[in-house]
Amino acid sequence: MEKKVFIKTFGCQMNEYDSNRIYDSVKKIGFKKTEKHDDASCYILNTCHIRDKAKEKVYHEVGRVKKLYNNKNKPIMIIAGCVAQAENEEMLKREPYIDIVIGPQSYHKINKVLKNFTKKEKKEETDFDTIKKFEYFDKIKNTNNKISSFLTIQEGCDKFCHFCVVPFTRGPEYSRPFNKIMNEAEELIKNGVKEITLIGQNVNAYSYEKNQKIYRISNLINELEKFSELERIRYTTSHPRDMTDDLIDCYSTSKKLAPFLHLPIQSGSNKILKLMNRKHTVEDYINIYEKLKKINPLIEFSSDFIISYPGETEQDFHETIELIKKVKFINSYSFIFSSRPGTKAAKLELIDDEISKDRLIKTQNILFSNQIKMNKSFENKSIDVLVENKIDGQNKLFGRNKYLNSVIFQGDKKNIGKIIKVKIESCNKNSLFGKIEDNKMRAA
Protein backbone atom coordinates (compact mmCIF):
# COMPACT_ATOMS: atom_id res chain seq x y z
CA MET A 1 0.00 0.00 0.00
CA GLU A 2 1.30 3.46 -0.93
CA LYS A 3 2.35 5.53 2.07
CA LYS A 4 0.37 8.77 2.06
CA VAL A 5 0.11 11.36 4.81
CA PHE A 6 -2.61 13.92 5.38
CA ILE A 7 -2.23 16.64 8.01
CA LYS A 8 -5.18 18.70 9.20
CA THR A 9 -3.82 21.82 10.89
CA PHE A 10 -5.62 23.89 13.50
CA GLY A 11 -4.63 27.12 15.20
CA CYS A 12 -1.73 29.45 14.79
CA GLN A 13 1.12 30.02 12.35
CA MET A 14 3.41 27.89 14.51
CA ASN A 15 1.25 24.86 13.74
CA GLU A 16 1.19 25.69 10.05
CA TYR A 17 4.98 25.88 10.00
CA ASP A 18 5.27 22.65 12.04
CA SER A 19 2.92 20.77 9.69
CA ASN A 20 5.11 21.70 6.72
CA ARG A 21 8.19 20.56 8.57
CA ILE A 22 6.49 17.27 9.50
CA TYR A 23 5.81 16.74 5.77
CA ASP A 24 9.49 17.45 5.06
CA SER A 25 10.45 14.85 7.66
CA VAL A 26 8.12 11.96 6.78
CA LYS A 27 8.93 12.37 3.09
CA LYS A 28 12.33 10.92 4.00
CA ILE A 29 10.73 7.61 4.96
CA GLY A 30 8.60 7.37 1.84
CA PHE A 31 5.40 9.20 2.76
CA LYS A 32 3.81 11.31 0.04
CA LYS A 33 1.64 14.29 0.90
CA THR A 34 -2.02 13.89 -0.04
CA GLU A 35 -4.56 16.71 -0.12
CA LYS A 36 -7.44 14.24 0.19
CA HIS A 37 -8.91 13.53 3.62
CA ASP A 38 -9.92 10.01 2.76
CA ASP A 39 -6.97 8.25 1.17
CA ALA A 40 -4.19 8.62 3.74
CA SER A 41 -2.34 5.78 5.36
CA CYS A 42 -1.29 8.22 8.08
CA TYR A 43 -3.71 10.90 9.30
CA ILE A 44 -2.33 13.64 11.53
CA LEU A 45 -4.39 16.17 13.47
CA ASN A 46 -2.11 19.06 14.41
CA THR A 47 -4.13 20.53 17.25
CA CYS A 48 -4.50 23.88 19.01
CA HIS A 49 -5.25 24.47 22.69
CA ILE A 50 -6.06 28.17 22.56
CA ARG A 51 -9.79 27.98 21.93
CA ASP A 52 -12.46 26.82 24.32
CA LYS A 53 -13.21 23.07 24.58
CA ALA A 54 -10.08 22.28 22.52
CA LYS A 55 -9.85 18.71 23.82
CA GLU A 56 -13.47 17.85 22.99
CA LYS A 57 -13.07 19.26 19.49
CA VAL A 58 -10.15 16.89 18.88
CA TYR A 59 -12.22 13.83 19.91
CA HIS A 60 -14.99 15.09 17.65
CA GLU A 61 -12.50 15.31 14.75
CA VAL A 62 -11.27 11.79 15.45
CA GLY A 63 -14.91 10.65 15.27
CA ARG A 64 -15.17 12.21 11.81
CA VAL A 65 -12.02 10.44 10.61
CA LYS A 66 -13.39 7.16 11.98
CA LYS A 67 -16.56 7.53 9.91
CA LEU A 68 -14.60 8.58 6.84
CA TYR A 69 -12.46 5.44 6.95
CA ASN A 70 -15.27 3.11 8.01
CA ASN A 71 -15.02 0.91 4.91
CA LYS A 72 -11.36 1.50 4.21
CA ASN A 73 -8.03 0.60 5.77
CA LYS A 74 -7.65 2.43 9.04
CA PRO A 75 -4.92 5.08 8.81
CA ILE A 76 -2.29 5.46 11.52
CA MET A 77 -4.03 8.10 13.59
CA ILE A 78 -1.70 10.69 15.11
CA ILE A 79 -2.57 13.57 17.41
CA ALA A 80 0.10 16.27 17.33
CA GLY A 81 0.23 19.87 18.60
CA CYS A 82 -0.69 21.53 21.86
CA VAL A 83 -3.68 19.34 22.80
CA ALA A 84 -1.43 16.28 22.39
CA GLN A 85 1.09 17.88 24.73
CA ALA A 86 -1.51 18.86 27.32
CA GLU A 87 -3.48 15.60 27.33
CA ASN A 88 -0.67 13.13 26.52
CA GLU A 89 -1.41 9.43 27.26
CA GLU A 90 -4.95 10.24 28.44
CA MET A 91 -5.88 10.50 24.74
CA LEU A 92 -4.70 6.95 24.05
CA LYS A 93 -6.76 5.65 26.95
CA ARG A 94 -9.93 7.54 26.06
CA GLU A 95 -9.96 6.97 22.28
CA PRO A 96 -8.57 3.62 21.06
CA TYR A 97 -8.71 4.84 17.44
CA ILE A 98 -5.72 7.10 18.23
CA ASP A 99 -2.38 5.35 17.70
CA ILE A 100 0.22 8.01 18.41
CA VAL A 101 0.26 11.17 20.52
CA ILE A 102 3.18 13.49 19.83
CA GLY A 103 3.86 16.92 21.35
CA PRO A 104 5.37 19.92 19.51
CA GLN A 105 8.84 19.49 21.01
CA SER A 106 9.09 15.83 19.94
CA TYR A 107 8.50 16.12 16.19
CA HIS A 108 12.10 15.06 15.50
CA LYS A 109 11.03 11.59 16.66
CA ILE A 110 8.18 11.24 14.19
CA ASN A 111 10.07 9.18 11.57
CA LYS A 112 11.35 6.75 14.18
CA VAL A 113 7.91 6.38 15.74
CA LEU A 114 6.33 5.73 12.33
CA LYS A 115 9.01 3.26 11.26
CA ASN A 116 8.61 1.25 14.48
CA PHE A 117 4.84 1.47 14.55
CA THR A 118 2.91 -1.75 15.06
CA LYS A 119 -0.86 -1.88 15.38
CA LYS A 120 -0.55 -3.44 18.82
CA GLU A 121 1.65 -0.78 20.36
CA LYS A 122 0.38 2.73 21.02
CA LYS A 123 2.99 5.45 21.42
CA GLU A 124 3.15 8.71 23.35
CA GLU A 125 6.00 11.25 22.90
CA THR A 126 5.62 14.46 24.85
CA ASP A 127 9.11 15.32 26.17
CA PHE A 128 10.39 18.87 25.88
CA ASP A 129 13.34 18.17 23.59
CA THR A 130 13.30 21.56 21.84
CA ILE A 131 17.05 21.76 21.11
CA LYS A 132 17.18 18.26 19.66
CA LYS A 133 14.09 18.98 17.61
CA PHE A 134 15.60 22.03 15.94
CA GLU A 135 18.97 20.29 15.46
CA TYR A 136 17.12 17.52 13.64
CA PHE A 137 15.10 19.87 11.43
CA ASP A 138 18.18 22.02 10.67
CA LYS A 139 19.45 19.02 8.69
CA ILE A 140 16.24 18.63 6.70
CA LYS A 141 15.61 20.95 3.78
CA ASN A 142 12.63 23.26 4.15
CA THR A 143 10.78 22.62 0.89
CA ASN A 144 8.13 25.29 1.35
CA ASN A 145 7.92 27.16 -1.94
CA LYS A 146 4.91 29.35 -1.32
CA ILE A 147 5.35 33.06 -1.99
CA SER A 148 4.85 33.82 1.68
CA SER A 149 6.40 31.57 4.29
CA PHE A 150 6.62 31.34 8.07
CA LEU A 151 10.00 30.79 9.69
CA THR A 152 10.18 29.77 13.35
CA ILE A 153 12.92 31.62 15.22
CA GLN A 154 11.79 31.04 18.78
CA GLU A 155 9.46 28.76 20.70
CA GLY A 156 7.90 28.62 24.12
CA CYS A 157 7.23 31.22 26.76
CA ASP A 158 8.54 32.14 30.24
CA LYS A 159 5.98 34.83 30.98
CA PHE A 160 3.15 32.75 32.45
CA CYS A 161 0.16 34.98 31.84
CA HIS A 162 -2.44 33.52 34.15
CA PHE A 163 -4.90 32.62 31.37
CA CYS A 164 -2.48 30.93 28.97
CA VAL A 165 -1.45 27.31 28.40
CA VAL A 166 1.49 28.01 26.09
CA PRO A 167 4.22 27.77 28.78
CA PHE A 168 2.86 24.28 29.56
CA THR A 169 2.31 23.07 25.98
CA ARG A 170 5.33 24.59 24.20
CA GLY A 171 7.71 24.73 27.18
CA PRO A 172 10.24 27.41 28.15
CA GLU A 173 11.55 30.06 25.76
CA TYR A 174 14.12 28.77 23.32
CA SER A 175 15.78 30.81 20.54
CA ARG A 176 17.24 29.04 17.52
CA PRO A 177 20.85 29.77 16.53
CA PHE A 178 21.12 32.88 14.34
CA ASN A 179 23.06 31.17 11.53
CA LYS A 180 20.60 28.25 11.34
CA ILE A 181 17.72 30.68 10.89
CA MET A 182 19.59 32.53 8.16
CA ASN A 183 20.43 29.24 6.41
CA GLU A 184 16.76 28.32 6.41
CA ALA A 185 15.79 31.79 5.16
CA GLU A 186 18.26 31.45 2.30
CA GLU A 187 16.78 28.04 1.44
CA LEU A 188 13.26 29.50 1.40
CA ILE A 189 14.29 32.43 -0.77
CA LYS A 190 15.98 30.03 -3.23
CA ASN A 191 12.65 28.13 -3.34
CA GLY A 192 10.96 31.36 -4.52
CA VAL A 193 9.67 32.74 -1.22
CA LYS A 194 9.23 36.54 -1.37
CA GLU A 195 7.83 37.26 2.06
CA ILE A 196 9.07 35.80 5.35
CA THR A 197 7.15 36.04 8.60
CA LEU A 198 9.40 35.31 11.57
CA ILE A 199 7.32 33.43 14.10
CA GLY A 200 7.44 32.42 17.75
CA GLN A 201 5.12 32.48 20.76
CA ASN A 202 7.16 35.44 21.98
CA VAL A 203 8.91 36.25 18.76
CA ASN A 204 10.43 39.52 19.89
CA ALA A 205 11.92 37.84 22.98
CA TYR A 206 14.33 36.18 20.52
CA SER A 207 17.79 36.21 22.09
CA TYR A 208 20.71 34.11 20.96
CA GLU A 209 24.22 34.46 22.30
CA LYS A 210 27.38 33.54 20.43
CA ASN A 211 30.97 34.70 21.04
CA GLN A 212 29.68 37.12 23.67
CA LYS A 213 27.40 38.82 21.15
CA ILE A 214 23.66 38.77 21.72
CA TYR A 215 21.56 38.48 18.58
CA ARG A 216 18.05 39.89 18.76
CA ILE A 217 15.15 39.91 16.33
CA SER A 218 16.40 43.30 15.07
CA ASN A 219 19.63 41.56 13.92
CA LEU A 220 17.57 38.97 12.06
CA ILE A 221 15.51 41.67 10.34
CA ASN A 222 18.64 43.62 9.34
CA GLU A 223 20.24 40.48 7.93
CA LEU A 224 17.11 39.41 6.02
CA GLU A 225 16.95 42.90 4.53
CA LYS A 226 20.12 42.09 2.57
CA PHE A 227 18.47 39.37 0.44
CA SER A 228 17.62 41.25 -2.75
CA GLU A 229 15.00 38.68 -3.84
CA LEU A 230 13.09 39.03 -0.55
CA GLU A 231 10.34 41.65 -0.74
CA ARG A 232 8.72 41.75 2.69
CA ILE A 233 9.50 40.89 6.31
CA ARG A 234 6.94 40.41 9.08
CA TYR A 235 7.05 38.94 12.58
CA THR A 236 4.46 37.61 15.00
CA THR A 237 3.46 37.23 17.85
CA SER A 238 5.06 39.92 19.94
CA HIS A 239 4.90 40.86 23.60
CA PRO A 240 4.87 44.57 24.55
CA ARG A 241 7.62 44.02 27.13
CA ASP A 242 10.02 42.90 24.39
CA MET A 243 9.42 45.85 22.03
CA THR A 244 12.93 47.15 22.62
CA ASP A 245 14.35 50.27 20.94
CA ASP A 246 16.58 48.29 18.55
CA LEU A 247 13.44 46.61 17.19
CA ILE A 248 11.53 49.90 17.06
CA ASP A 249 14.48 51.41 15.13
CA CYS A 250 14.04 48.75 12.43
CA TYR A 251 10.89 50.60 11.38
CA SER A 252 13.02 53.55 10.33
CA THR A 253 15.96 51.62 8.85
CA SER A 254 14.27 48.69 7.10
CA LYS A 255 12.66 49.10 3.70
CA LYS A 256 11.13 45.63 3.81
CA LEU A 257 9.59 45.46 7.29
CA ALA A 258 5.79 45.74 6.93
CA PRO A 259 4.26 48.80 8.65
CA PHE A 260 1.79 46.60 10.49
CA LEU A 261 2.28 45.22 13.98
CA HIS A 262 0.24 42.57 15.74
CA LEU A 263 0.91 43.42 19.37
CA PRO A 264 -1.49 41.81 21.85
CA ILE A 265 -2.51 43.89 24.86
CA GLN A 266 -5.52 41.77 26.08
CA SER A 267 -7.09 44.56 28.19
CA GLY A 268 -7.09 48.36 28.43
CA SER A 269 -7.21 48.27 32.23
CA ASN A 270 -4.00 48.22 34.29
CA LYS A 271 -5.85 46.44 37.08
CA ILE A 272 -6.81 43.59 34.74
CA LEU A 273 -3.36 43.45 33.13
CA LYS A 274 -1.92 42.96 36.62
CA LEU A 275 -4.46 40.24 37.43
CA MET A 276 -3.52 38.56 34.14
CA ASN A 277 0.20 38.77 35.06
CA ARG A 278 0.92 40.50 31.76
CA LYS A 279 4.02 42.32 33.06
CA HIS A 280 3.26 45.53 31.15
CA THR A 281 0.90 48.46 31.58
CA VAL A 282 -1.41 50.34 29.23
CA GLU A 283 1.07 53.26 29.40
CA ASP A 284 3.92 50.95 28.21
CA TYR A 285 1.76 50.00 25.26
CA ILE A 286 0.84 53.60 24.39
CA ASN A 287 4.50 54.53 24.63
CA ILE A 288 5.37 51.90 21.97
CA TYR A 289 2.45 53.07 19.84
CA GLU A 290 3.60 56.68 20.01
CA LYS A 291 7.24 55.86 19.25
CA LEU A 292 6.24 53.87 16.17
CA LYS A 293 3.72 56.45 14.95
CA LYS A 294 6.45 59.09 15.26
CA ILE A 295 8.73 57.02 13.04
CA ASN A 296 6.00 56.35 10.51
CA PRO A 297 2.42 57.62 10.95
CA LEU A 298 1.27 54.92 8.51
CA ILE A 299 2.17 52.07 10.88
CA GLU A 300 -1.02 50.31 12.00
CA PHE A 301 -1.71 47.98 14.93
CA SER A 302 -3.75 44.89 15.62
CA SER A 303 -4.21 43.14 18.93
CA ASP A 304 -5.86 40.37 20.96
CA PHE A 305 -8.48 41.15 23.59
CA ILE A 306 -9.83 38.95 26.35
CA ILE A 307 -13.23 40.27 27.32
CA SER A 308 -14.69 39.66 30.81
CA TYR A 309 -11.50 38.38 32.40
CA PRO A 310 -12.45 37.48 36.00
CA GLY A 311 -12.64 40.70 38.01
CA GLU A 312 -13.33 42.96 35.01
CA THR A 313 -15.73 45.74 36.11
CA GLU A 314 -17.69 48.12 33.87
CA GLN A 315 -14.92 50.69 34.47
CA ASP A 316 -12.20 48.21 33.36
CA PHE A 317 -14.22 47.37 30.27
CA HIS A 318 -14.71 51.07 29.54
CA GLU A 319 -10.91 51.52 29.68
CA THR A 320 -10.51 48.76 27.06
CA ILE A 321 -12.98 50.53 24.79
CA GLU A 322 -11.15 53.84 25.26
CA LEU A 323 -7.86 52.18 24.32
CA ILE A 324 -9.40 50.67 21.17
CA LYS A 325 -10.68 54.11 20.22
CA LYS A 326 -7.26 55.67 20.76
CA VAL A 327 -5.11 53.12 18.91
CA LYS A 328 -7.71 52.44 16.19
CA PHE A 329 -6.62 48.84 15.76
CA ILE A 330 -7.29 47.82 12.18
CA ASN A 331 -7.71 44.11 12.70
CA SER A 332 -7.99 42.31 16.02
CA TYR A 333 -9.12 39.17 17.76
CA SER A 334 -11.51 39.37 20.68
CA PHE A 335 -12.95 36.57 22.81
CA ILE A 336 -14.85 36.15 26.03
CA PHE A 337 -12.55 34.72 28.69
CA SER A 338 -12.77 30.96 29.01
CA SER A 339 -10.60 29.01 31.40
CA ARG A 340 -7.88 26.56 30.41
CA PRO A 341 -7.27 23.64 32.77
CA GLY A 342 -3.97 23.93 34.62
CA THR A 343 -3.70 27.73 34.39
CA LYS A 344 -3.98 30.06 37.41
CA ALA A 345 -7.04 31.76 35.95
CA ALA A 346 -8.87 28.43 35.70
CA LYS A 347 -10.03 28.66 39.31
CA LEU A 348 -11.37 32.22 39.10
CA GLU A 349 -15.03 33.12 39.17
CA LEU A 350 -16.51 33.79 35.72
CA ILE A 351 -18.42 36.95 34.84
CA ASP A 352 -22.12 36.59 34.02
CA ASP A 353 -22.69 35.27 30.50
CA GLU A 354 -25.13 37.98 29.39
CA ILE A 355 -22.82 40.76 30.57
CA SER A 356 -19.88 39.12 28.78
CA LYS A 357 -21.78 38.70 25.52
CA ASP A 358 -22.89 42.32 25.63
CA ARG A 359 -19.29 43.50 26.23
CA LEU A 360 -18.00 41.33 23.38
CA ILE A 361 -20.57 42.74 20.95
CA LYS A 362 -19.66 46.30 21.95
CA THR A 363 -15.95 45.55 21.51
CA GLN A 364 -16.36 43.88 18.15
CA ASN A 365 -18.63 46.63 16.84
CA ILE A 366 -15.84 49.16 17.33
CA LEU A 367 -13.10 46.83 16.08
CA PHE A 368 -15.07 45.90 12.96
CA SER A 369 -15.98 49.50 12.24
CA ASN A 370 -12.24 50.44 12.44
CA GLN A 371 -11.49 47.58 10.09
CA ILE A 372 -14.12 48.64 7.56
CA LYS A 373 -12.97 52.28 7.77
CA MET A 374 -9.41 51.21 7.02
CA ASN A 375 -10.51 49.00 4.12
CA LYS A 376 -12.69 51.78 2.69
CA SER A 377 -9.72 54.14 2.80
CA PHE A 378 -8.10 52.02 0.06
CA GLU A 379 -11.01 52.43 -2.36
CA ASN A 380 -10.08 54.25 -5.60
CA LYS A 381 -6.42 54.05 -4.65
CA SER A 382 -3.60 52.02 -6.16
CA ILE A 383 -1.84 49.83 -3.65
CA ASP A 384 1.17 47.51 -3.77
CA VAL A 385 0.11 43.87 -3.65
CA LEU A 386 2.38 40.85 -3.38
CA VAL A 387 0.64 38.25 -5.54
CA GLU A 388 0.57 34.87 -3.79
CA ASN A 389 -1.55 32.49 -5.85
CA LYS A 390 -4.36 31.89 -8.28
CA ILE A 391 -7.75 31.25 -6.68
CA ASP A 392 -8.87 27.67 -7.41
CA GLY A 393 -11.43 27.40 -10.18
CA GLN A 394 -11.46 31.14 -10.88
CA ASN A 395 -9.53 33.41 -13.20
CA LYS A 396 -8.59 35.50 -10.19
CA LEU A 397 -5.45 36.15 -8.22
CA PHE A 398 -4.95 36.47 -4.49
CA GLY A 399 -2.39 38.66 -2.81
CA ARG A 400 -1.83 40.85 0.22
CA ASN A 401 -0.99 44.46 0.83
CA LYS A 402 1.46 45.63 3.50
CA TYR A 403 -1.29 45.56 6.12
CA LEU A 404 -2.04 41.90 5.47
CA ASN A 405 -5.40 42.62 3.83
CA SER A 406 -6.48 39.98 1.33
CA VAL A 407 -6.68 41.49 -2.16
CA ILE A 408 -8.61 39.72 -4.93
CA PHE A 409 -8.44 40.73 -8.57
CA GLN A 410 -8.51 39.48 -12.16
CA GLY A 411 -5.12 38.64 -13.56
CA ASP A 412 -2.66 36.32 -15.17
CA LYS A 413 -0.71 33.85 -13.08
CA LYS A 414 2.57 35.22 -14.49
CA ASN A 415 2.15 37.92 -11.81
CA ILE A 416 2.50 35.40 -8.97
CA GLY A 417 5.53 36.31 -6.84
CA LYS A 418 5.60 39.92 -8.02
CA ILE A 419 4.57 43.13 -6.32
CA ILE A 420 2.09 44.87 -8.59
CA LYS A 421 -0.17 47.90 -8.39
CA VAL A 422 -3.84 47.06 -7.89
CA LYS A 423 -6.52 49.73 -8.02
CA ILE A 424 -9.06 48.98 -5.29
CA GLU A 425 -12.68 49.27 -6.41
CA SER A 426 -14.61 47.83 -3.46
CA CYS A 427 -14.15 46.05 -0.15
CA ASN A 428 -15.82 44.15 2.63
CA LYS A 429 -14.67 43.56 6.21
CA ASN A 430 -12.07 40.98 5.23
CA SER A 431 -11.02 41.66 1.65
CA LEU A 432 -10.28 44.29 -0.96
CA PHE A 433 -11.34 43.85 -4.58
CA GLY A 434 -9.79 45.61 -7.55
CA LYS A 435 -8.02 45.42 -10.86
CA ILE A 436 -4.40 45.49 -11.93
CA GLU A 437 -3.33 49.03 -12.71
CA ASP A 438 -0.19 48.09 -14.58
CA ASN A 439 2.01 45.07 -14.76
CA LYS A 440 5.22 46.72 -13.75
CA MET A 441 6.98 45.27 -10.77
CA ARG A 442 7.25 47.68 -7.88
CA ALA A 443 9.41 47.83 -4.83
CA ALA A 444 7.65 46.75 -1.64
**Site residues (CB under 6 A) for ligand SF4?**
157, 159-161, 164, 166-167, 201-202, 239
Could you please report the per-residue DSSP string of 322-339?
HHHHHHT-SS-EEEE---
Residue length of the chain: 444
Q: Shortest distance, CB of residue 49 to ligand SF4, whole angstroms? A: 11
Closest C-alpha to 26, from 5, 55, 49: 5
Q: Where are the alpha helices (DSSP H) in 174-253?
A: 178-190, 217-224, 245-253
Q: Shortest distance, CB of residue 389 to ligand SF4, whole angstroms? A: 30
Residue placing its CB nearer to ligand SF4 in the complex, 75 or 156: 156
The Cα–Cα gap between 203 and 247 comes to 11
Q: Shortest distance, CB of residue 278 to ligand SF4, whole angstroms? A: 7
Q: Which amino acid would we find at residue 328?
A: K
Q: Shortest distance, CB of residue 382 to ligand SF4, whole angstroms? A: 37
Q: Which amino acid would we find at residue 351?
A: I
For 215-251, b/e burial (b = at least 16 CB within 10 A) is bbbbbbbbebbebeebbbbbbbbbbbbbbeeebbebb
Q: Shortest distance, CB of residue 166 to ligand SF4, whole angstroms? A: 4
Residue placing its CB nearer to ligand SF4 in the complex, 80 or 166: 166
Q: Shortest distance, CB of residue 120 to ligand SF4, whole angstroms? A: 38
The Cα–Cα gap between 198 and 188 comes to 12
Residue placing its CB nearer to ligand SF4 in the complex, 167 or 411: 167
Residue placing its CB nearer to ligand SF4 in the complex, 112 or 160: 160
**Class of residue 214 by CB neighbours under 10 A (exposed 0-12, middle 13-18, buried 19+):** exposed
Cβ-contact 328, 302 below 8 angstroms: no
Three-state SS string across 405-423, please? CEEEEECCHHHCCCEEEEE
Residue placing its CB nearer to ligand SF4 in the complex, 75 or 171: 171
Q: Shortest distance, CB of residue 159 to ligand SF4, whole angstroms? A: 4
Residue placing its CB nearer to ligand SF4 in the complex, 40 or 54: 54
Residue placing its CB nearer to ligand SF4 in the complex, 159 or 359: 159
Q: Shortest distance, CB of residue 13 to ligand SF4, whole angstroms? A: 13
Residue placing its CB nearer to ligand SF4 in the complex, 12 or 147: 12
Residues 6+ apart with CB under 8 A from 237: 12, 199, 200, 201, 202, 203, 262, 264
Residue placing its CB nearer to ligand SF4 in the complex, 106 or 343: 343
Q: Shortest distance, CB of residue 82 to ligand SF4, whole angstroms? A: 11
Residue placing its CB nearer to ligand SF4 in the complex, 216 or 232: 216
Give the Å distances, CA to CA, from 48 to 15, 216, 268.
8, 28, 26
Task: Classify residue 52 by its DSSP letter.
Answer: T
Q: Shortest distance, CB of residue 362 to ligand SF4, whole angstroms? A: 23
Q: Shortest distance, CB of residue 242 to ligand SF4, whole angstroms? A: 9
Residue placing its CB nearer to ligand SF4 in the complex, 126 or 202: 202
**Class of residue 407 by CB neighbours under 10 A (exposed 0-12, middle 13-18, buried 19+):** buried
Residues 6+ apart with CB under 8 A from 202: 154, 156, 157, 158, 159, 173, 237, 238, 239, 242
Closest C-alpha to 13, from 234, 218, 244, 175: 234
Cβ-contact 444, 418 below 8 angstroms: no
E strands, 283-414, in order: 300-302, 304-307, 333-336, 382-390, 396-400, 406-410
Cβ-contact 424, 400 below 8 angstroms: no
